[in-house]
Structure 1
Amino acid sequence: MAEDLKTKLENYRTAPFDARFPNQNQTRNCWSNYLDFHRCQKVLSAKGADTAPCEWYGRVYKSLCPTSWIQKWDEQREEGIFPGKI
């Protein structure tokens, strides 16, 4: 399974279709993957496990989200005022 994940990450081009977000507006998809990435990082880091599986979410949100949003959300997380539940 680890090899399958590595193969998927190596062949990654852009965010795949997600049936939870069937419309053209991908704002919620961006937001969900941003949260999932940071939740995954937090949980696996707390367990002392490898955080490589989280990279999938990272690549997806980075391809969907505008850079300005990502920068704003990162700043909000650092300041402790981020509105999402991570």
Structure 2
Amino acid sequence: MAEEIKEKLSRYRTAPFDSRFPNQNQTKNCWQNYLDFHRCERALGAKGSDVSPCQWYRRVYRSLCPIEWVTTWDEYREEGTFPGKI
């Protein structure tokens, strides 16, 4: 399974269509993938598992989200004031 994910990551170009977010505005898609990445890292890291499958979410949010948003959210997480549930 990990090799299948690595193969998909190697062919990755941009965020694929997600039917949960069919509109042109992809703000919610960006936010959800940011949360999913950090939730995935936390969950797999706590189990001591390989966190490489989480890289999918990272690539998606990095292609959708403005860098300023990600920087701000990272700062909020470090300060402990992040508004999302990770």
TM bracket (short chain): over 0.9
Structural mapping, 1:21-32, within 5 Å: 21-32=21-32
Task: Write out per-residue CA displacement over residues 31-81 of structure 1, whole angstroms, 9 at most, x where no aligned residue.
Answer: 000000000000011000000000000000000000000000000000000
Pairwise CA distance, 1:17? 0.2
Length-normalised TM-score, structure 1: 0.98
Q: Summarize the alignment of residues 1-86 of structure 1 with structure 2, pairs less than 5 Å apart.
A: 1-86=1-86
- What per-residue deviation string (whole Å, max 9, x for no partner) do you get for residues 1-25 of structure 1? 2222111000000000000000000
Secondary structure at the aligned position of 1:54 is classed as helix
- In structure 2, what residue type is equivalent to 1:27? T
Alignment root-mean-square deviation, CA: 0.5
Q: 4+ runs of 1 displaced by more than 4 Å? A: none
The alpha carbon displacement at 1:30 in A equals 0.1
Unaligned runs of 5+ in 2: none
Number of residues of Structure 1 aligned to a counterpart in Structure 2: 86
- Counterpart residue type for residue 52 of structure 1: S
- TM-score, length-normalised on structure 2? 0.98
Instruction: Name the SS of the counterpart of 2:50 in structure 1.
Output: coil
Matched residue SS, 1:73: helix
